[in-house]
Amino acid sequence: MKALVQRVSVADVTVAGEVLGKIEAGVLVLVCAVPGDGQEEVEKLARKIANLRIHADEAGKMNLSLVQSAGSALVVSQFTLAADLSRGNRPGFTGAAAPAEAEALYEDFCTALAGHGVPVERGRFGADMAVNLVNDGPVTIWIDTAA
């Protein structure tokens, strides 16, 4: 699985003007399943994000995890993280998991992250979403469970 994690002070996702998910301090997670991903990758990614020490401690240093900082996560499916630009300027997305498989892994990831004690808000899989955020820091981390 691939994820782009952004530390945020606020973030929300809307579909057709309806707010589906909204958080204050925490992380926005754009997540993409790729062929071959399964429960092992879901849990590895959830554990990594829940414990990623990118939140400020009392001294202002990035030393606290999402769990320790009592932050929330807004999780949005993002198949474009699997973009292949090797054949020119128009991206190909054959590197993303098939929609039915990807949706199941997305849902499993959200459940696994919540299982680590993180409040989770979600987008809507496959929808045309508008994501608003204030990137705090900015802090943006790329995670690939295959690496």
Asked whether residue 147 is assigned to any structural domain, the reply reads no
**pLDDT value for 142:** 98
Asked whether residue 34 is assigned to any structural domain, the reply reads yes
- What are the tens digits of pLDDT across the range 13-52? 999 999 999 999 999 999 999 999 999 999 999 999 999 9
- What are the tens digits of pLDDT across the range 54-102? 999 999 999 999 999 999 999 999 999 999 999 999 999 999 999 999 9
Number of domains in the chain: 1
List all residues 6 or more positions away from 59 whose beta carbon is below 8 Å from its beta carbon: none
- Please identify every residue annotated as catalytic: 78-80
Asked whether residue 146 is assigned to any structural domain, the reply reads no
Q: How many helices (H) and strands (E) does the chain have?
A: 2, 8
Domain with residue 81: its CATH number is 3.50.80.10
Contact 5, 28 (CB under 8 A): yes
Asked whether residue 144 is assigned to any structural domain, the reply reads no
**pLDDT value for 147:** 87
Question: How far is the CA of 57 from the CAs of 25, 26, 54, 95, 123, in angstroms?
Answer: 14, 14, 9, 38, 29
Domain extent, residue 24, equals 2-139
**pLDDT value for 61:** 96
At 2, the amino acid letter reads K
